[in-house]
Structure 1
Amino acid sequence: MNNYRRTNTTVSMLHYHFVFCPRYRRKLFDDDLFERRFKEIVHDVCEGLDIHLLAIECDRDHTHLFLSALPSISPSDIMARIKGISSKRLREEFPHLTHLTSLWTRSFFVSTAGNVSSETIKRYVEEQKTRG
């Protein structure tokens, strides 16, 4: 698998592992329809930003994303777009959430895949669904 991203002037391989939570650690991902729709929206946002969504997994009250992005977009900008668009769309589509001013917390965790391999992080994200 070729992990390098090429533009006219740049060759890069930036992989990010993001973790973020709904406000008040609501158990939003207990709803299979909500989780499926959230994943579709994240996929669409990433596609629009030319970000490769390598893995996505949701636990009851948080989600893990493993992405490959060009250096022209910062991790903060990636999260702002994913959280902003998904919050707006999900609150429009799920009426019981319309009273919320925001769906996600303002904070998030991000790390780069520097000390561990991309495959290790991808496997970790995918295994989160099967953990008890």
Structure 2
Amino acid sequence: MSEFIHKSHNVTILLYHLVFPAKYRRAVFDDTVDKEIKNICLDIESRYQIKFLEIGTDKDQVHFLVQSVPTYSVTKLVTMIKSLTAREVFSRCPSVKKQLWGGELCTDGYLASTVGKHGDEQMIANYVKNQGNEYKKLHNVHQLEMF
């Protein structure tokens, strides 16, 4: 799953569990949108120092288990992920934009929690899995590559 990230002056293992509810709590995450979110997140990984360890949806919300570097604050991570995924989902799946009346993909609110290296990572993964009735795992990484 996660590994220590070695930079020139620090070694870190920062893991975050992020949850973004869909705007108006609409059930907009279907198989097509799920596939696009996964692809978008993997594209984000290639451009930024973010690793998506797990991505999952539950019809009206999306869960991320993310590893990043200390130069990215939680607010910056949330803003980056929300804005890039929303822009790309709206362009790749126009029906979602129509369902949300041309507005935003996710609400302004979000849940962000940190995950510890020893023991808590699996607990959060299980928590994400047990949210709602129809949770579907879209992506999972068991070994992290170096940035």
Q: Does 1:120 align with 2:118?
A: no
Deviation, 1:3, is 2.0
Give 2:140's aligned residue: none
* Alignment map for 1:1-132 (pairs within 5 Å): 3-29=3-29, 31-96=30-95, 97=97, 99-114=101-116, 117-128=120-131, 129=135
Q: 1:105-128 CA deviation, whole Å, 9 max, x = no partner?
A: 111100101495212222333454
Distance 1:120 1:107 in 2: 23
Superposition TM-score, scaled by structure 2 size:
0.78
Which runs of 5 or more residues in structure 1 are unaligned? none
Which has the larger helix fraction? 1
Say how many residue pairs are matched.
129
Native 8 Å contact 1:56 1:126 kept in 2: no
CA positional deviation for 1:101 = 2.5
Could you tell me which amino acid in structure 2 is paired with residue 10 of structure 1?
Answer: N
Superposed CA RMSD in Å reads 2.0
| Counterpart code for 1:102 | E
| Structure 2 residues without counterparts, runs of 5 or longer | 137-147
Moved over 6 A (4+): none
